[in-house]
A and B are shown apart, each in its own frame.
Chain A
């Protein structure tokens, strides 16, 4: 499998922000990692996983379309 480094130019801060907001509730609002050396990230529900897959698919398809256009 090839790592698609060519698609990285389509990764925007807006995409990261959208993902961060969608996963906000899975993180604890405490600096656990810096204090204990172990972080925290709770599991996603089935619904959230499905939404994550949908966002990911949309993102990748958009990037692939743009990548084809620019050759």
Chain B
């Protein structure tokens, strides 16, 4: 039997919602999703893969809605290629800013909004900010 990632996650979420066990339903189903999505997203860098599996687990656990999870997964699966002037945010969206320079080793220098400091980051640890 074949089913899409979305259908599988919906199924696990519905199992969690039915609460078949008296205690600890979440870890049973959310961590099944966390484990298999880890394999599915094996090509993502560590940081992005962790965020992807976390989003999937939060969806199955009933903490995140489907649209938000899909948006997070879409953003994490985008290539991490930036140009000077691109607007970016951290993986969890705790800071936003702008790319100032690209270093020869591929790392990027960016400036968080509202700050004078310049930060150096791996491109895969930043996401392009949409609607900018």
Contact = CB atoms under 8 A, between A and B. Distances in A.
Interface residues on B, range: 35 or more
A19 B46 CA distance: 17
A53 to B, nearest CB: 6
A64 B42 contact: yes
* Interface residues of chain B: helix, strand, loop or mixed (majority): helix
Contacts of A56: 38, 46, 49-50, 53
B107 interface: no
Interface residues of A, number: 39
Contacts of B28: 20
Interface of A: 1-5, 7-8, 10-11, 15-16, 19-21, 23-24, 26-34, 37-41, 49, 52-53, 56-57, 59-60, 63-64
17 contacts: A3-B5, A10-B39, A19-B34, A20-B28, A20-B31, A23-B31, A30-B23, A34-B19, A37-B62, A38-B62, A39-B16, A39-B26, A40-B26, A40-B63, A53-B46, A59-B35, A60-B38
Interface of B: 5, 16-19, 23-28, 30-32, 34-36, 38-44, 46, 49-50, 53, 57-58, 61-63, 77, 79
